[in-house]
Amino acid sequence: MADVLIVEDEFLVALDLEDIIFQAGHGIIGVVADKRGIAEISAAPKVALVDLNLRDGRTGPAIARELAERFGTKIIFVTANPDQIESPPPTALGYIRKPFNHDDVLGALALAMGTARAERPRGLHPLQ
């Protein structure tokens, strides 16, 4: 079952995230690199890993809000610039700082999917 959407314009970063998601036993709905790509998503992702700065500019926050409103998707921002997160949707769980490690992503996914043992994984930072 596919439950995770990757919103990332850097090919190698997206591949790394795909590998981590598969390791965790989750399927991937797709990878989108800009706002236009989100219009093609018809399945409801449970979780989206969202970069802020994409191919068409800083559209990650708008994409996150659209996913939250349209599908109730839980959002995990994956960014090197967390200070640029403005008006996150209520379904946003926090952010993982780039460069990330596998354990940070796996822990955040476990929390988002409801399978985490701890309350908040170490690498998932709260939004301010």
In a domain, 24, yes or no: yes
In a domain, 42, yes or no: yes
In a domain, 121, yes or no: no
pLDDT digits (tens, 9 = 90+) for 64-111: 999 999 999 999 999 999 999 989 999 999 999 999 999 999 999 999
In a domain, 98, yes or no: yes
In a domain, 128, yes or no: no
In a domain, 32, yes or no: yes
Host domain of residue 104: 2-113
In a domain, 122, yes or no: no
Domain count, the chain: 1
CA-based end-to-end distance of the chain: 33
Q: Domain with 108 in it: what CATH number?
A: 3.40.50.2300
Of 59, 88, 87, whose CA–CA distance to 76 is shortest? 88
Q: What is the DSSP string of 29-61?
A: EEEE-SHHHHTT--S--SEEEE-SSBTTBS-HH
pLDDT digits (tens, 9 = 90+) for 12-32: 999 999 999 998 899 999 999
In a domain, 93, yes or no: yes
What is the predicted pLDDT for the residue at 128? 73
- Which three-class secondary structure state does DSSP give residue 89? coil
What is the predicted pLDDT for the residue at 1? 58
